[in-house]
Chain A
Amino acid sequence: DSGVTQTPKHLITATGQRVTLRCSPRSGDLSVYWYQQSLDQGLQFLIQYYNGEERAKGNILERFSAQQFPDLHSELNLSSLELGDSALYFCASSPRTGQSGEQYFGPGTRLTVT
């Protein structure tokens, strides 16, 4: 158990819909990272937040957005969903400031868009 929690575990929704994925980092970790993993793309970095502020952006679509709240939990919002958005979405946390260093991953949310 990494100490990172993610909900829900599974999500099935239709094209065009909007969903919110939730992540709680390990106690004391200030950085939260979001990744997308699909079969043909590997683990793709989406976005990082540090202590409530966006720190780095990766291959995140404009239809996707995220935020980190004062209690340090984070939410990833996916809108206008397409079939190609079906993937595993992972959240990771790290105690490091400004550098990614070691990251601890949650169990993931499996999103299926039908």
Chain B
Amino acid sequence: RKEVEQDPGPFNVPEGATVAFNCTYSNSASQSFFWYRQDCRKEPKLLMSVYSSGNEDGRFTAQLNRASQYISLLIRDSKLSDSATYLCVVKSQIGGFKTIFGAGTRLFVKA
């Protein structure tokens, strides 16, 4: 089992739709969680950190469920510019610190 798993998609949604992605992680000792965005043939960029109480940034909401070991990203009122790959990132401490990237979920927002 991969340490961080994501549905690769692609998710194809119309503009204005609400879409949600989940990401599961296997290490219960994981401590920090993030969502990064990666545009085609570009470098990843931090979208948002994920806090235990959940957090929101404009149209984006991130949630953490430690009991079930998953994080989620909700995008409301999707824009064409939201089309990208969304990477789930988990940081753990086991014999040193490890940052594990998921393989990503591809989103296409259509007009």
A and B assemble together = no
